[in-house]
Structure 1
């Protein structure tokens, strides 16, 4: 069984530093960040319970938004869990959840090589969708069907719309968010009601 340390060492050598750092990500350890204007991108390696696999977390945030769960965090310290846009790079289908460290170094090398190849597809695609500000986010707002998103997503997008001066889009998102929010979600409703007053 390959250890977590051996897996991370190989992943760091083949993806985190040579590839991500070449694309503007900075940091040490298991979390790297890229800051371009208000856009913040986070790549994080999270160990899974059981010690045999990990998750590859992707996060995107805008520095004028409250973090997920409320509050403010310095862009250089933001974690993937703080980001309002989050996803994971998924491993191939199989019995394991997360990316398995492997039962041998050969398996580990194969997994890491696959992760590097996946970065060029799903990894880069996630950050491209949340990349250029304001153009990319204007496009996101115009392509979003308010009826097809969750109330919390409507809140985040409404805040972005207000920041971009798109008040009619913000109003539609607030209305949809309020209509979809569960009755018990009082703080979410209060946040939605404040968006256009901010």
Structure 2
């Protein structure tokens, strides 16, 4: 089945469920803008060779530019604009996880050869998006605490909780935290994270100007 045909099935079999959860979108990009500055996004990303897709989830905040420095209207944000990103993964049983010690891997969904097969794939995708997406997006419900509680020590050692957020790497995350503190009016905290960023800048010299803006 072609990607264009599969997206029609997403539109009729998946999109209505996401709309009930507050998302807008039709066949592969979906976005939900919460009142507390949080933006949740979903994309069903087709394999460039066709025949399958992967589901990616993203979280962004309406006062932040995207990674390219562009400030985009909240309802136009896609996963590709988000600082926090993760993918739907294969779900393991207790036996697989604890006895066989298998690790979760991202789930690629093969379209199927017939419409019935493809509808079954969309159904499975829907169940996993709702289950995993609900858990992932819930991590950001207590904004701004989810960001302001991150310490420079966590940045230095890349804790498991940061990985569970799908957080950007240390310098971009430091910049994001500094911008969040600045948005909240916490000038001292913003400057502290900017100072940490400059101290650890390494070869990422393109971020120097972004960090120095907190000292103007």
Give TM-score scaled by structure 2 length: 0.74
Give the Cα–Cα distance (whole angstroms) in 2 for the partners of residues 164 and 10 of structure 1: 43
Question: What residue in structure 2 maps to residue 182 of structure 1?
Answer: 202
Question: What residue in structure 2 maps to residue 195 of structure 1?
Answer: 214
Question: What residue in structure 2 maps to residue 140 of structure 1?
Answer: 147
2:139 to 106, 129, 135: 129
2:172 to 137, 147, 152: 152
2:72 is paired with a residue whose SS is coil
Question: What residue in structure 1 maps to residue 85 of structure 2?
Answer: 86
Give the Cα–Cα distance (whole angstroms) in 1 for the partners of residues 186 and 27 of structure 2: 39
Contact kept, 8 Å, 1:150 with 1:180, in 2: the verdict is: no
Taking only aligned residues, the RMSD between alpha carbons, in angstroms, comes to 2.8
Give TM-score scaled by structure 1 length: 0.80
1:49 is paired with a residue whose SS is coil
Question: What residue in structure 2 maps to residue 165 of structure 1?
Answer: 185
Give the Cα–Cα distance (whole angstroms) in 2 for the partners of residues 32 and 111 of structure 1: 19
Give the Cα–Cα distance (whole angstroms) in 2 for the partners of residues 150 and 29 of structure 1: 34
Give the C-alpha shift of residue 8 in structure 1. Answer: 2.1
Change (3 A) 1:95 1:74: closer
Change (3 A) 1:94 1:39: closer
